[in-house]
Amino acid sequence: MEGALVKLTVQGVMPDAIPNSESQVVILQDESKTNTLPIWVGVAEGTAIRLALESVVPPRPLSHDLIRNLTEQLGLTISKVVVTDVKNNTYYASIFLRSKQSDKQSELTVDSRPSDAIALALRTSCPIYVTQEVLDHLAPENIDPWLKILGSKEFGGTV
């Protein structure tokens, strides 16, 4: 991983501002709240993230619970997830895994959608990072409407 990483926390999951949109928006912010990263996700992934934020334990393991359980049982630790890139409005993420035997050098990296990576990070209490490069590429015109909403509204029931 090249370049600086900025640690983010999930502030909440909001419905998309566009009426009837199938998407939801996950709001991530850095510690100083100077950088906000909104990531558009599908309804299923949004729900997976919201349940983890609200510490809801479903009666049966949902898909991301299963991924956590699979990795835990195999002795794999998810060390971090990183939002690595944005291309044509699509965000890319990597999930970093360590096996019991491996040292830091042999860390495994898996390509992922940010939604899955975040849903997994919240379930494993691992940190979420974004590359400074991605933050630098955030177009203010995309972010400003969201910041306005953030200033005027609560994040729903998730914070």
Residue numbers at the binding site for other proteins (CB under 8 A): 42, 44-45, 59-64, 66-67, 69-71, 73-74, 76, 90, 92, 95, 97, 99, 108-113, 116
Q: Which is nearer to other proteins, 13 or 62 (CB)?
A: 62
Sheet holding 36-42, edge to edge: 36-42, 23-30, 5-15, 128-131, 77-87, 90-98, 108-112
Q: Which two tokens stand for residue 85?
A: 């890139």
Q: Which is nearer to other proteins, 35 or 96 (CB)?
A: 96
Closest CA to 108 of 73, 80, 72, 69: 80
> How near is the Cβ of 120 to other proteins at its closest, in Å?
8
> How near is the Cβ of 73 to other proteins at its closest, in Å?
5
Q: Which is nearer to other proteins, 29 or 47 (CB)?
A: 47
Q: Is 78 left (phi over 0), alpha (psi -120 to 50) or beta?
A: beta
